Amino acid sequence: MSAEGQTIPDDIRDIAKATAEALIGRMCTTMDHSFGLQNEQQQRGLKTSMSQLVEHDIAPAMAKALHEERQRCASVARDATMMTGAPIQEMGDEVAAAVLSQPKAVKFWMVYGLGQRGSTYQHPSKSSARKEAKRLASLHPDIPFVVLAAVDAYRTDAPVMQRIKITKPDPADTFGDDGIPF
C-alpha cells in the first residue's frame, strides 16, 4: 500500500486494518440486532461486503492518515531539535508547542531583471515564474531575467515598549557638576 508514492510501514497498515475490522465487526453486530438478519446467508453477505469495504476503502484511508500524522510528528521533532540543539526526548511539551506555533511561509518564486528595480510579485510556482521571465526577456532583449526562489525566511518580533519611570534628581548628588550641559 502506498500513499501518494510513499510506502506505508507494515505496523501502520496492521494497526489501521485491525481498527477498521473492529469497527466493521461492531457495525455488523449492530446491524444484525437492529435489522434482524435471521438468515445466515444475509449475515455472511453483509460480512463479506463489510470486509471488502475494510480492505479497499477504510483501512487504506486510516493507514494514510496515521502515516501522515507520524511524518508530521517526526517533522516537529526535527524542527525542535534544530531550534534547541537538544534531542526531542529531553524537551517538554512547551518546546513542542513552540515549534508547532512557529509561523510558516509558503514557497514562492520571483523574477528579477538584472540591473532593474526589484519585482514584488510572488509567483506560486516555478513554471509561472519561468514563463514570466521568458515573456519579459522577449520584451526587453538586452536584459537578462532571473528566476529567484524563496529558500529561507526569518522574522523577529517587534521590541516590547516599556515605560520608564523618571525620578527627580537628588539635590545632594551634585558631585562632578561643572555646569557644562554635556
Residue pLDDT, tens place only, 82-141: 655 666 555 566 665 665 566 677 889 999 999 998 888 999 999 999 999 999 999 999
As for how many domains the chain has, the answer is 2
Q: Each residue of 57-77: pLDDT tens digit? A: 777 777 777 778 777 777 766
41 and 122 housed in the same domain: no
Question: Considering the entire predicted model, what is its pTM?
Answer: 0.37
pLDDT surpassing 80 at residue 144 = yes
Spell out the SS3 assignment of the chain: CEECCEECCHHHHHHHHHHHHHHHHHHHHHHHHHHCCCCHHHHHHHHHHHHHHHHHHHHHHHHHHHHHHHHHHHHHHHHHHHHHCCCHHHCCHHHHHHHHCCCCCCCCEEEEECCCCCCCCCECCHHHHHHHHHHHHHHCCCCCEEEEECCCCCCCCCCCCCCCCCCCCCCCCCCCCCCCCC
17 and 64 housed in the same domain: yes
45 and 81 housed in the same domain: yes
179 in any annotated domain: no
Mean pLDDT across the stretch 139-158? 88
85 and 13 housed in the same domain: yes
59 in any annotated domain: yes
11 and 68 housed in the same domain: yes
119 in any annotated domain: yes
162 in any annotated domain: no
69 and 117 housed in the same domain: no
142 is in which domain, residue-wise?
Answer: 109-149
